[in-house]
Structure 1
């Protein structure tokens, strides 16, 4: 984190203490913000757990903290000067509905950071200016509450899978047009990107929301044809993203901002329909299997210094609350093919080699290893058989399996 914050806030000569420790020390209030450090391409916030999309808690990551310094005279007699480092932080919001929390957290962080590079932003002044701006942003968001919730509900009722989110992208574009924000579309097939430019130069901060849904057969609000459902709460992300745009787009806000804000609706976060995505790669439509990877290689993050996003979590956390998550699991995906020999299952089964039995043996072998997994490593292996044979009266000659192997990366 040090290089990017050093560059953004012109504090390259300052020592940076432990950001996590410092963040908790200042006024005993943690800075609830999720940072995607694009230089390392590390996505810190990802929790794929079911949510109703109504009220939920947030899993947010502790941010690095930013310092700004101001040279002030120590005494007129000695004319000595010293550098004073001040934290640029402010309060967070808790115990409010999911969409409002998402928008306000994002807006508050953006206003604090971007105002921190303006010419009027000197220690106490920055807090006063930022607080007033944030209150105005929050008031605007509150006044459009019903409209924002409607966006989230309409997306909930029209879930789409990754790289196919045409209707969801259209909903984003309609809202941006209503706000007189120009945008790029069709990025990584369905992504939408708008830029709100501040009055002064400074860093570019992106607010991100994910467009896609999961496949959840039996979900009460699943699409009956595709079985797609917003069980991961991405509809709330997009509603929050659009609400943040509504709050920040006002001229009386942007005239105080030093830097730019990107509103970025990104496709294909969920790692599903792998065969379909492999087909996209083979046909030259994409290069990678997920949306953010594709957007990075397209250069769509080259003009972005930092990105912020939120994610819902499940019902095991009190509704209307938020939390900090220190890290997430990494994972690898495996596609496995078992080959045997076909034969008539009734007439001459002894002449066949049953590939399904081999697949079953592999599952048993994996399960036999589970007792060796340490709890602190958070290992998860969850395979499914995607093809178990062709006909019931034929010994299976080909069986395919798909699995994730998740665990801590360090």
Structure 2
């Protein structure tokens, strides 16, 4: 009787091990096995980019892939967003994983065979369209995560919610979308999300690495519109009018004193930038109006409040001193909060990242003045936003093509690390319980 019992015990142990394929080694094996698929998805998305709230082709590809895995799918969230729900075989927390889908109005200049040839009309102008920030990579990586985790469904201790989000890069004035709209439409409810994880690939960070930062990781952003109104006159007789161009020049210079003279720069950085100025159409006519567009980046609510107040004060008082008038709209069309990684959650999950990538490949990063609307999820639930290396091995970070430019380039060999990281974050968090 002993031998049959022993055989039965051995068989049970074998079945148990097969029934629990959630080790990091197993995740790595399954991720590596679909690397070619992930790269193919990315190259297809790259060749067929779509602007925010127009990601119709991309979202349909994603939805069909999730459905093919047996994942419950909801289409049309915040216009073109896709949400997938994977219920594990065991009870536990709900983890959300997010990827953004939109491209940018940038004409591609890279020599890759899958370069975008797409063009469209944006804000009244004919523009090229390009995945110049890596969102094509994010979609492909999260599709890979969905494939790996769905194959482990029976042994997941909880539920995974896959969020494929449109319009992260912002929208023209008057349109709604992005993470803020997805939150408003209940993406973090039914079932209620306990933690959210996301990633962003970086062209200047070495492939094979992950970087992170507890607390404020990326800046809050407010865009602004400044309209300066003077009185038009002949360019030869400026004394007969009120020059809004000279007034605007004074405003631009004075705005730079906010960071240099009003901000406690040893505590937090900030940026005040004017990125566009439009006024006049002829060399000998002083125009009536000048319109400026700009951005404010901050890392604390107090700094944000102070800078906004100072911007309004400088603009209106400088205009008044020049006998002009000025109006400030801030935010004008977009406001993103600080991308704030919950420090307790970071401490809890850091060992997972180190075990996934190797401790030497997990890097504490500096705060960045770029912004991310992942912050809207993190306002509601604890979250971590990590950064994935996309710079080819041996490449110079200083010479890496910047994000949002025609030459933006990503090394695809780092994609599976992103898949492994998101899979392991979800699995380990769920296994720990709330």
**Normalised-by-shorter TM-score class:** 0.5 to 0.7
| Residue 164 of structure 2, aligned match among 265, 281, 296 | 265
| Residue 197 of structure 2, aligned match among 288, 298, 308 | 308
CA displacement, residues 107-162 of structure 1 (integer Å, 9 cap, x when unaligned): xxxxxxxxxxxxxxxxxxx9998774443333222222111111112222233332
| Residue 221 of structure 2, aligned match among 315, 321, 331 | 331
> Are the aligned partners of 2:103 and 2:131 in contact in 1 as well (CA < 8 Å)?
yes
| Residue 321 of structure 1, aligned match among 191, 209, 216 | 209
Secondary structure, aligned partner of 2:201: coil
User: Which has more strand, going by share of residues?
Assistant: 2
Task: Provide the C-alpha distance between the structure 2 equivalents of 1:148 and 1:266, rounded to a whole number of angstroms.
Answer: 18
> What is the match of residue 185 of structure 2?
298
> What is the match of residue 384 of structure 1?
275
> What is the match of residue 40 of structure 2?
150
Cα distance change of structure 1 residues 370 and 205 upon mapping to structure 2, 3 Å threshold: closer
| Residue 279 of structure 1, aligned match among 174, 179, 200 | 174
Tell me the CA shift for residue 370 of structure 1. Answer: 4.5
Tell me the CA shift for residue 354 of structure 1. Answer: 2.6
Secondary structure, aligned partner of 2:200: coil
Tell me the CA shift for residue 301 of structure 1. Answer: 1.1
State whether structure 2 residue 255 is matched by structure 1 residue 366: yes
> Are the aligned partners of 2:275 and 2:295 in contact in 1 as well (CA < 8 Å)?
no
Secondary structure, aligned partner of 2:231: coil
CA displacement, residues 197-227 of structure 1 (integer Å, 9 cap, x when unaligned): 1123322211110112234456535644434
| Residue 231 of structure 1, aligned match among 132, 140, 159 | 132
Cα distance change of structure 1 residues 270 and 155 upon mapping to structure 2, 3 Å threshold: same
> What is the match of residue 139 of structure 1?
29
> Are the aligned partners of 1:337 and 1:398 in contact in 2 as well (CA < 8 Å)?
yes
Task: Provide the C-alpha distance between the structure 2 equivalents of 1:138 and 1:243, rounded to a whole number of angstroms.
Answer: 12
TM score, norm. by length of structure 2: 0.56
Cα distance change of structure 1 residues 217 and 392 upon mapping to structure 2, 3 Å threshold: farther
> Are the aligned partners of 2:78 and 2:181 in contact in 1 as well (CA < 8 Å)?
yes
Cα distance change of structure 1 residues 377 and 384 upon mapping to structure 2, 3 Å threshold: same
| Residue 407 of structure 1, aligned match among 282, 294, 298 | 298
Cα distance change of structure 1 residues 165 and 399 upon mapping to structure 2, 3 Å threshold: farther
State whether structure 2 residue 65 is matched by structure 1 residue 175: yes
> Are the aligned partners of 1:331 and 1:405 in contact in 2 as well (CA < 8 Å)?
yes
> Are the aligned partners of 1:332 and 1:406 in contact in 2 as well (CA < 8 Å)?
yes
Cα distance change of structure 1 residues 174 and 131 upon mapping to structure 2, 3 Å threshold: closer
Higher relative contact order (CA 8 A, sep 6+): 2
Task: Provide the C-alpha distance between the structure 2 equivalents of 1:335 and 1:381, rounded to a whole number of angstroms.
Answer: 13
Question: What is the alpha-carbon root mean square deviation over aligned residues?
Answer: 2.9
Tell me the CA shift for residue 360 of structure 1. Answer: 1.5
| Residue 141 of structure 2, aligned match among 231, 234, 240 | 240
> Are the aligned partners of 2:19 and 2:154 in contact in 1 as well (CA < 8 Å)?
no
Secondary structure, aligned partner of 2:286: coil
User: Which structure 1 residue ranges, 5 or more long, are not aligned?
Assistant: 1-125, 281-285
| Residue 160 of structure 1, aligned match among 50, 60, 64 | 50
User: Which has more helix, going by share of residues?
Assistant: 2
User: Which structure 2 residue ranges, 5 or more long, are not aligned?
Assistant: 1-15, 121-126, 302-434
Task: Provide the C-alpha distance between the structure 2 equivalents of 1:189 and 1:245, rounded to a whole number of angstroms.
Answer: 22
| Residue 286 of structure 2, aligned match among 358, 380, 395 | 395
> Are the aligned partners of 1:385 and 1:399 in contact in 2 as well (CA < 8 Å)?
no
> Are the aligned partners of 2:21 and 2:155 in contact in 1 as well (CA < 8 Å)?
no
Task: Provide the C-alpha distance between the structure 1 equivalents of 2:28 and 2:244, rounded to a whole number of angstroms.
Answer: 60
Task: Provide the C-alpha distance between the structure 2 equivalents of 1:389 and 1:174, rounded to a whole number of angstroms.
Answer: 51
> What is the match of residue 8 of structure 1?
none
TM score, norm. by length of structure 1: 0.59
